[in-house]
């Protein structure tokens, strides 16, 4: 066999891009989840700024830091104490809806309605799919994992 013939058989058995492509629905779900997480952090920070007008900067820093720490402890994809499956989308959906409520209280009604609608779509989509949009990578185990 010549080099051209072997390269043809290799490409015929394994198409280019196999294993790298993702279904478009998964990509949309991941983008939606990221947008909701970002909107949640913005909503909490903006609420703190409007709730404590005399101490805007410290209130924003404390609210943002608290939100990030709590999110990273139980809801982040690589959290050590991540919530189990049935509770994970429900708690995340509750957090997103709480962020929408914070936006509503802060006076951003249109943004609050948009975030609430996106949160409901994300929650229904996660529950219908049976797994979260952003799943963590499998953890390595064994001697060399440390």
pLDDT by residue (tens digit) across 74-100? 888 888 888 888 789 999 999 999 999
Q: Based on the structure, what is the number of domains in the chain?
A: 1
How many Å apart are CA 3 and CA 106, to the nearest integer?
67
DSSP annotation of 84: P
CB 75 within 8 A of CB 119: no
Arithmetic mean of pLDDT over the chain: 83
In a domain, 6, yes or no: no
How many Å apart are CA 111 and CA 107, to the nearest integer?
9
Q: 0.95 cut: is pTM over it?
A: no
**Containing structural domain, residue 77:** 28-133
Token code pair at residue 88: 């994970």
Q: What is the CA radius of gyration of the chain?
A: 21
Say if residue 114's pLDDT is above 60. yes
Across residues 100-119, what is the average pLDDT?
Answer: 96
In a domain, 86, yes or no: yes
């Amino acid at each position: 066999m010549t080099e051209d013939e072997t390269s043809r058989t290799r490409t015929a058995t394994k198409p280019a891009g196999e294993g790298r492509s993702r279904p478009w629905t998964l990509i949309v779900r991941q983008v939606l989840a990221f947008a909701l997480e970002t909107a949640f952090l913005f909503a909490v920070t903006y609420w703190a700024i409007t709730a404590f007008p005399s101490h805007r900067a410290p209130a924003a820093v404390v609210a943002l830091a608290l939100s990030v720490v709590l999110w990273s402890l139980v809801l982040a994809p690589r959290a050590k104490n991540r919530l189990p499956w049935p509770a994970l989308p429900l708690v995340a959906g509750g957090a997103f809806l709480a962020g929408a409520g914070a936006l509503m209280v802060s006076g951003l009604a249109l943004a609050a309605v948009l975030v609430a609608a996106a949160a409901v779509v994300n929650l229904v989509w996660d529950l219908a799919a049976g797994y979260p949009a952003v799943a963590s990578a499998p953890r390595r185990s064994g001697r060399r994992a440390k």
